[in-house]
């Protein structure tokens, strides 16, 4: 399995974006491909640079239209939304399937216990 190609987008606080990028780059198999501030550029960058994961700054729990449109088109993109400056996390995965659903439940329930 190759590196996970990651795009960081729309994180308004530069310090938070820097921290997210630095932490991602410390993981051996995560490669930060790009970091952008304008969500209008997300779809073209995801296609052009074969992005696997989008770490997205969000002001609320609603996925921006550009992202939901990509997922509706069958994109395999994993979207991790950092809501309210990272105090809350939302994960968006399309076509997860029953096995994937229960794997995620186990992962997140264990994280909540730490």
Residues 6+ apart with CB under 8 A from 112: none
CA separation for the pair 96, 82 (Å, rounded)? 20
CATH code of 65's domain = 3.40.50.2300
What does the pLDDT read at residue 82? 93
What does the pLDDT read at residue 95? 78
Kindly report, residue by residue over 63-102, the tens digit of the pLDDT: 899 999 998 888 889 999 999 877 888 888 887 877 888 8
Kindly report, residue by residue over 6-55, the tens digit of the pLDDT: 999 999 889 999 999 999 989 989 999 999 998 899 999 999 999 999 99
Instruction: State which residues form the domain around 20.
Output: 4-113
What is the total count of domains within the chain? 1
CA separation for the pair 71, 78 (Å, rounded)? 9
């Amino acid at each position: 399995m190759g590196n996970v190609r990651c795009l960081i987008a729309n994180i308004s606080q530069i310090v938070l974006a820097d921290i997210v990028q630095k932490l991602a780059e410390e993981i051996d198999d995560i490669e930060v491909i790009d970091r952008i501030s304008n969500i209008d550029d997300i779809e073209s960058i995801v296609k052009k640079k074969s992005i696997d994961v989008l770490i997205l700054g969000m002001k609320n729990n609603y996925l921006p239209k550009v992202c939901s449109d990509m997922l509706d088109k069958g994109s395999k993109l994993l979207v991790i939304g950092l809501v309210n400056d990272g105090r809350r996390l939302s994960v968006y995965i399309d076509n997860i399937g029953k096995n994937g659903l229960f794997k995620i439940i186990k992962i997140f329930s264990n994280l909540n216990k730490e």
